Amino acid sequence: MEHLKPFKERDVLPLEPAVDQGWHLKRYAILAEGRQFDADVAAAATAEALKRLPEAGSLANGTGNHGVGFQVIHFAETAVVSPIFYWQWGSVLARACQIKAQWDAPTLFNDGVDEIVGCVWEMNIVQHEIEAWTSTLLGPSSDPQRQLPTYLETFAQTS
């Protein structure tokens, strides 16, 4: 069963956060075996993510999103897949969507599979982001605005 082969770590690259349209979007690239990072593909994925995110809120808004999230750009075997997540209501992680580009047109992103949250490599990043959010923005400081840079600079471990 080729689809149940042993788990092998993949390279994870922290990318510069995107600060645009009121959003602070942390970004990661994951590289499947034999795949290389491509800055143009990553830029196209982030441009598409920003189109699909709701209007950015603020950290002061307790009834909506906080204008803070993260994107995983997975240079996978079959396509470039990119789930997009954001924080709202203080402690809730929302998934905006998953976008996907085929390798024959890797900068043209369309809808991904809606019911998919992410693969195991992407979920490792989600787990890290939950821990980073709770230890910084929901941590002991009474000033979340001052903690935002710390959160934005805390990336998952790379391989």
Note the pLDDT tens digit of each residue in 6-40: 889 999 999 999 999 999 999 999 999 999 999 99
List, edge to edge, every strand of the sheet that includes 79-88: 11-20, 23-31, 65-75, 79-88, 92-102, 110-111
Q: Quick one: pLDDT at residue 65?
A: 96
Can you give the C-alpha Rg of the chain in angstroms?
A: 16
In sequence order, the 6+-apart residues with CB closer than 8 A to the CB of 130 are 93
Other CB atoms within 10 A of residue 117 CB: 11
**Among residues 32, 151, 38, 145, which one has the least CA distance to residue 86?**
151
Question: What whole-number distance in Å separates Cα of residue 13 and Cα of residue 155?
Answer: 9
Predicted confidence (pLDDT) per residue in 34-71, tens digit: 999 999 999 999 999 999 999 999 999 889 999 999 99
Tens digit of each residue's pLDDT (9 = 90 or more) over 63-92: 999 999 999 999 999 999 999 999 999 999
Helix (H, G, I), strand (E, B) or coil at 78: coil
Q: What is the pTM of this model?
A: 0.94
Distance CA 55, CA 137 (A): 21
Residue 99 in contact with residue 71, Cβ under 8 Å?
no
Tokens representing 75 are 């240079």
